[in-house]
Structure 1
């Protein structure tokens, strides 16, 4: 008996434009943050890339000089949020439920819980993912993507969009590159291939000089915002 399969296409009318609504809300977030003089950073990367650790390093170095707030995005857990709270900074857990990214609405809702004029910098730790966050602007000043050498030296070319739309790329955990058989230089070349203008930092928590370079980028952003 021969089976026949019908290829049927359905056109679904979407009266609700999710991306337009997100863009509009992102614009409102950006204005609110700008009016308050807050430098905002959207930090993206896969689970295990070291996003939380790098934010912690910046907090430890800068919290005595600047007022810091963090939006800690996660699907359901608040473990990362608890790490930031231990450093004594204002932390807002932002659980997305089943969504693999933060959006402008969730950030907008999170911002309503604080007085922005009391802060100098807002770290937004996005959900651990290298694909979904690229479609959703949050109203941030700077998009940073962090990848770890433990993800393999082909991770860059597998996720081209995030490297084409970010303002800074960080290749993290370079101290274990030999152990995992990855050449960070290959990752740097792949980033340059996708986006020749994208600045790249190589970092390791165990190398103070590389951590200082990371902190310097964040502080330059804060100071630049204050001059506007």
Structure 2
């Protein structure tokens, strides 16, 4: 898919042993950075969510809703990853969220080492929850640990029911899957039981929720799931 993350090496047999070793080295370095970040977050008692999805599935709108409804403890902080522009970060700051932008350029995912400069711009001691809004992509980000305590994957009803089967690595890595934009399900003839079966097939241990950031449906249950993880981290 790209030349920056070596994802072709991960997804398929490498054409040469040298490329295979490069892919392993990239992930090993990332895992070491992620482990250090996880220790840092745990020492601060800070729960961290890695929010993943395809482009346009509603990640930013979901965070806007979460920011409006957030009652603490502490503030909500967000690190936003995008190929270009800081549009999402500006939207979140307008919603009263402490948001920092990471512009990746050609990189189709965030890596643990990219988070360090962004973390320096946040007062971690004042935060009750940190969300990392990853680059919109259902392939590369699945392989990169960011030190998170919860991995949340969104599936918008407008994407169709078969996305979990097409991108099994992403959904298999999820702790929590939110079927988003559920208010549009009837309009786009989205088969909810069918989608749930596909998610369960590739991610049997993931919890599945349904909701809509626009209407607020299911958001209370999502907040409860996040709060439970936050309490566990603390």
Structure 2 vs 1, CA of residues 10 and 42 (structure 1 numbering), >3 Å: closer, same or farther?
Answer: closer
The residue number in structure 2 matching 1:26 is: 34
Among candidates 175, 185, 205, match of residue 213 of structure 2: 205
- Per the TM alignment, residue 129 of structure 1 is displaced from its structure 2 partner at its CA by 0.6
Does residue 216 in structure 1 map to residue 228 in structure 2?
A: no
8 Å CA contact retained: 1:25, 1:108: no
- RMSD across aligned C-alpha pairs, in angstroms? 1.8
- Per the TM alignment, residue 102 of structure 1 is displaced from its structure 2 partner at its CA by 0.6
Tell me, in whole angstroms, the C-alpha distance in 2 between the residues paired with 1:10 and 1:48: 36
Superposition TM-score, scaled by structure 2 size: 0.87
- Partner SS state of residue 179, structure 1: coil
Unaligned runs of 5+ in 2: 1-14
Tell me, in whole angstroms, the C-alpha distance in 2 between the residues paired with 1:85 and 1:131: 28
Q: Deviations over 1:142-184 (max 9, x none)?
A: 1010010101111111010111111000111111112112212
Tell me, in whole angstroms, the C-alpha distance in 2 between the residues paired with 1:17 and 1:112: 26
Superposition TM-score, scaled by structure 1 size: 0.89
Among candidates 97, 105, 112, match of residue 105 of structure 2: 97
Among candidates 9, 12, 18, match of residue 18 of structure 2: 12
- List structure 1 runs of 4+ shifted beyond 4 angstroms: 13-16
Larger radius of gyration: 1
Unaligned runs of 5+ in 1: 1-8
Tell me, in whole angstroms, the C-alpha distance in 2 between the residues paired with 1:66 and 1:92: 17
Larger CA deviation: 187-196 vs 198-207: 198-207
Q: How many residue pairs align between the two structures?
A: 218
Tell me, in whole angstroms, the C-alpha distance in 2 between the residues paired with 1:11 and 1:223: 45
8 Å CA contact retained: 1:37, 1:117: no
Does residue 76 in structure 1 map to residue 84 in structure 2?
A: yes
Tell me, in whole angstroms, the C-alpha distance in 1 between the residues paired with 2:62 and 2:169: 22
Tell me, in whole angstroms, the C-alpha distance in 2 between the residues paired with 1:160 and 1:103: 20
- Per the TM alignment, residue 212 of structure 1 is displaced from its structure 2 partner at its CA by 1.2
